[in-house]
Amino acid sequence: MGRIIVRLDRVMADRKIGLNELSEQVGIANVNLSKLKNGHVSAIRFSTLIAICEALRCQPGDLLEYAADET
Amino acid sequence: METSIKRKINIFGKVGKIITTVLIVLLLVAEGFLLTGGVIVALVPKEAVTADVTGTADVRVDANVLGIDENNQLAVKAGGSKIVLGDLGEKAKADIDVKDGVVQVQLGVKNMHFNLWDALKLIIFSMFSLAAVIVALYFFKALMKEFSLCDTPFSDGVIRKMRNFAIALIPTMLLSSLFKSVAGGMLADRFTFDFDLLPVAFVVVVFVLTAIFRYGAQLQREHDDTV
């Protein structure tokens, strides 16, 4: 089975925005955002995705990427 | 989890822990008394104290309802018709006397003799049963302690302790049934295994609860991994 890679770090770097600032704008705890950035979560709520897309002015596709299984 | 719910679960755990601790202490004291009593009984000669139980029972039945017919068979009259129950043995016939329209049966209760070894047997079985209850309570106390400290009841610690409690209940259930069988067997002068279904149902309920909590823990993990 393939997997979903979160590209939040790349979009944040493009927008030159830090984790703390994004955390304040989105209204999500710094720890949870860090988990999301490092791919340590198994699911994301639509409400979270909407808030991040609004803060970073991007599309969900910019944040998420599908990687097919190599085997 | 909402703080008020979490606080209620923690309080429930604390209260349960206190009650269980008190129960364990009381049962340990009882176990101590049984041990002392057992040692004393074991040291005294077994015929030092004896008890003999004898007795008879007189049963009277209206001869118009239950009686012996012309063929010497036990019969009952119901709804105007006669139902033959069966042939009576010679010994039974000797015990039955029909007089003034009443069937009188004299049942002799077998003489029973008890000595201190019988008491010792009961004490030993009581000690084992009590020990099993104490062990089960110890695991229940551990479960209550986990509830008093946990952030959510659907955690691996709670599930592990609930499963341990359920397993500890099995010997308690078996020993209590065995104790009743032994005590009953001594009085009836024959051993019959008396198996209670209620404790079995309780153990099954605890195992089912463990399975439900395991599923709850899985949902909790999924919830925690979602941002």
Tell me the pLDDT tens digit for each residue of B87-133.
766 666 666 777 777 777 766 656 677 788 888 888 888 898 899 99
Q: Is the dihedral of CA A14, A19, A25, A28 positive or negative?
A: positive
Cβ–Cβ pairs < 8 A, chains A and B: 20
Q: What is the complex's ipTM, to 2 decimals?
A: 0.77
* C-alpha closest to that of B122 among B179, B164, B160: B179
Within this chain, do residues B120 and B220 fall inside the same structural domain, yes or no? yes
B129 in the same domain as B41: yes
Q: β-pairing, B96-99 with B81-87?
A: unpaired
Q: What is the CA radius of gyration of chain B?
A: 28
Instruction: Say how many C-beta atoms besides its own lie within 10 A of residue B158's C-beta.
Output: 23
Range of the domain at B145: 3-46+115-224
pLDDT digits (tens, 9 = 90+) for B174-205: 888 888 887 777 766 666 777 778 888 999 99
Average model confidence (pLDDT) across chain B: 84
Do residue B108 and residue B145 come from a single domain?
A: no
Q: How confident is the model at residue A17 (pLDDT cuts 50, 70, 90)?
A: very high
Burial B120-135 (b: 16+ CB within 10 A, else e): bebbbbbbebbbbbbe
Is B227–A42 a contact, with Cβ atoms under 8 angstroms apart?
no
Please indicate, yes or no, whether residues B9 and B103 belong to a single structural domain of this protein: no
Q: Is the pLDDT of residue B78 over 90?
A: no
Query: Between chains, do A33 and B227 touch, taking CB under 8 Å as contact?
Result: yes
Structural domains of chain B, count = 2
* pLDDT attached to residue B36: 93
Structure-token pair, residue A58: 């991007």
Q: How close does chain B come to A47, measured CA to CA in Å?
A: 9
- Compute the half-sphere exposure of residue B155: CA atoms within 13 Å on the CB side of its CA: 15
Q: Are residues B137 and B183 in the same domain?
A: yes
Mention the CATH class of domain A3-67: mainly alpha
pLDDT band at residue B71 using 50, 70 and 90 as cut-offs: confident
Beta strands in B33-177 (DSSP E): 51-62, 66-68, 73-78, 81-87, 96-99, 102-114
Judgement on whether residues B164 and B219 belong to the same structural domain of the protein: yes
Model confidence over B127-157: pLDDT tens digits? 988 999 999 999 999 999 999 998 888 999 9
Say yes or no: B211 and B152 in one domain: yes
For residues B208 and B99, membership in a common domain is answered with no
Indicate the domain borders of chain A: 3-67
Residues of A in contact with B226 (CB under 8 A): 41-45
